[in-house]
Structure 1
Amino acid sequence: MHYVKVVLGVLLGITVFLFLDYALPSKNTVRVTNTYNRLTDIGANSMFYAAADTGTVQNAQGQRDIRFIETVRPNGKVFVYRNEDTGWIWPPYFKYDSSNLQAEATNNRSDSANPKWVSVTGYGWRIPMFSIYPNAISMRPVADAQAAPLNWPAMMILLVLGALLALLWRMWNQFRERTIDPAARRVSAAVDNVDARADAAMDRVGQEFTEAREGFTGWLDTWKGKPRDPK
């Protein structure tokens, strides 16, 4: 049972970590190289795209006209964002300005000779094998490639989640101390009482059986001509 609890705890921890890693906003300093729209097949990876009623209308072939933003990081590695509205659906970024963001990204395009660096806030993962892209939420210009603005939104969300977790843990401990522990002690005492009564009953049965056997043995001895044990 101990190992089952450990495994379940590890799986729960991994699930929570992956959930937060995907849903929390992240900031990356990048240089925008291109912006465009592309008909994209939405199939088994649909959970990593905006809901159909908030994103671009999907055609009969399961394709959606999605905006993309191509960027380059300071280390030279490329990174591609999608640019979709989120609406009121998960995750709750309430984004409705993907057209404005696309125009802003287009205005900030630059080349390596005259770079313009921007900090892009987004969420999600980039998994090329499954055509999964992070969704850009906003961007703002920064001074240079070394600029690394603090990720205040993620920090505040984690702080609030930590406070809620601490509150729930405290409430659970109080509930356990006031309700579960006393009930467990009462059940344990009742079980001990039952065990004690059972042991006493077994002792009485054993004693009566011994007395009955000795009495029967004495009675048989009288038939054999032996004097009966005065006990």
Structure 2
Amino acid sequence: MTYVKWTLFGLIALIIFAFFHYNLPQHDVVRIVGTYQERQDLGDWTRVFWASPDDQSATLTNRDVQFIQAVEVDGDPMVYRNEDTGWGWPPYFKFDTASLQTEADDLKSTREAPKWAVVTHYGWRSELFSIFPNAVGIYEVDSPDVRIIPWVNIIILTMLLLIVLTIRAMLKQFKERSIDPVLEDVEEAWDEVEARADAAGDEVRGVWSRFMAWLGTFKGKPRK
């Protein structure tokens, strides 16, 4: 049971980590090399990794999606999708796809004369399943060595931790005030029942002993 318990805890922790890793904003320092638009099929299970910015998109099996091509500092390629999130999840309230695509076009550069930019995005990149992170912001920086502090993530995770600790304290207080006294009463009542049962058992054993002793008085008596 110990292995089952820790396996279950591990799976829950992994799911929670994956949820926040996918939805919280991430920042990449990249060089923009191109933009393009391509029609994407949305009929399979990977639809969950594409935005649904309006009611109409929920009924479409394919649609045109804009993409931003980039190269990371270490030379690895990266491709971002550029979709509005609208009022849906995750709550980035992004409505400026066209403006973001224009900013990306303006930041295009070559290897010989690079322009570096920070792309803020959420989501994952998977070449196997054709999954792309969604760019939600972009701005130019002077150097690829820029230091980025994820203030949004720090604030969100800190608030979440405070909420969890508050709920934990409330549950602990509720347990001490409401549940523990009931359990103590139940335990006392059970102890009393056991004590009465033991006393009744002792009484029964006493009666049985006296009965057996009385029967013993007939042993050895001569028959008439």
TM-score in same-fold range (> 0.5): yes
For 2:58 and 2:214, how far apart are their aligned partners in 1? 97
Shift of the 4–203 alpha-carbon distance from structure 1 to 2, 3 Å rule, reads farther
Unaligned 5+ runs, structure 1: 226-231
Is the CA contact (8 Å cut-off) linking 1:55 and 1:85 kept in structure 2? no
Q: 1:196 maps to what in 2?
A: 195
Matched, 1:174 2:189: no
Shift of 1:220: 4.7
Q: 2:109 maps to what in 1?
A: 110
The one-character-per-residue Cα deviations of 1:29-83 (angstroms, maximum 9, x if unpaired) are 1111111111112221111111262686865xx2221111111100000111111
Q: 2:15 maps to what in 1?
A: 15
Is the CA contact (8 Å cut-off) linking 2:37 and 2:65 kept in structure 1? yes
For 2:158 and 2:148, how far apart are their aligned partners in 1? 18
Number of aligned residue pairs: 223
For 1:165 and 1:83, how far apart are their aligned partners in 2? 34
For 2:175 and 2:119, how far apart are their aligned partners in 1? 46
Is the CA contact (8 Å cut-off) linking 1:38 and 1:66 kept in structure 2? yes
Matched, 1:27 2:27: yes
For 2:40 and 2:191, how far apart are their aligned partners in 1? 68
Shift of the 108–85 alpha-carbon distance from structure 1 to 2, 3 Å rule, reads same
Letter of the structure 1 residue corresponding to residue 23 of structure 2 = A
For 2:203 and 2:128, how far apart are their aligned partners in 1? 76
For 1:135 and 1:24, how far apart are their aligned partners in 2? 11
Q: TM-score, normalised by structure 2?
A: 0.92
- Per the alignment, in what secondary structure is the counterpart of residue 34 of structure 1? strand
The one-character-per-residue Cα deviations of 1:190-217 (angstroms, maximum 9, x if unpaired) are 2221112112211211121121122123
Letter of the structure 1 residue corresponding to residue 130 of structure 2 = S
Q: 2:127 maps to what in 1?
A: 128
Shift of 1:9: 2.0
Shift of the 52–221 alpha-carbon distance from structure 1 to 2, 3 Å rule, reads farther
For 2:64 and 2:70, how far apart are their aligned partners in 1? 19
- Per the alignment, in what secondary structure is the counterpart of residue 128 of structure 2? helix
The one-character-per-residue Cα deviations of 1:96-116 (angstroms, maximum 9, x if unpaired) are 111111111111111111111
Shift of the 179–3 alpha-carbon distance from structure 1 to 2, 3 Å rule, reads farther
Shift of the 52–112 alpha-carbon distance from structure 1 to 2, 3 Å rule, reads same
Shift of 1:171: 1.0
- Per the alignment, in what secondary structure is the counterpart of residue 37 of structure 2? strand
For 1:211 and 1:223, how far apart are their aligned partners in 2? 22
Q: 1:53 maps to what in 2?
A: 54
For 1:162 and 1:55, how far apart are their aligned partners in 2? 37
For 2:194 and 2:12, how far apart are their aligned partners in 1? 39
Shift of 1:7: 2.7
Percent of aligned pairs with the same residue?
39
Is the CA contact (8 Å cut-off) linking 1:33 and 1:72 kept in structure 2? yes
Unaligned 5+ runs, structure 2: none
Shift of the 58–145 alpha-carbon distance from structure 1 to 2, 3 Å rule, reads farther
Q: 1:228 maps to what in 2?
A: none
Q: 2:64 maps to what in 1?
A: 65
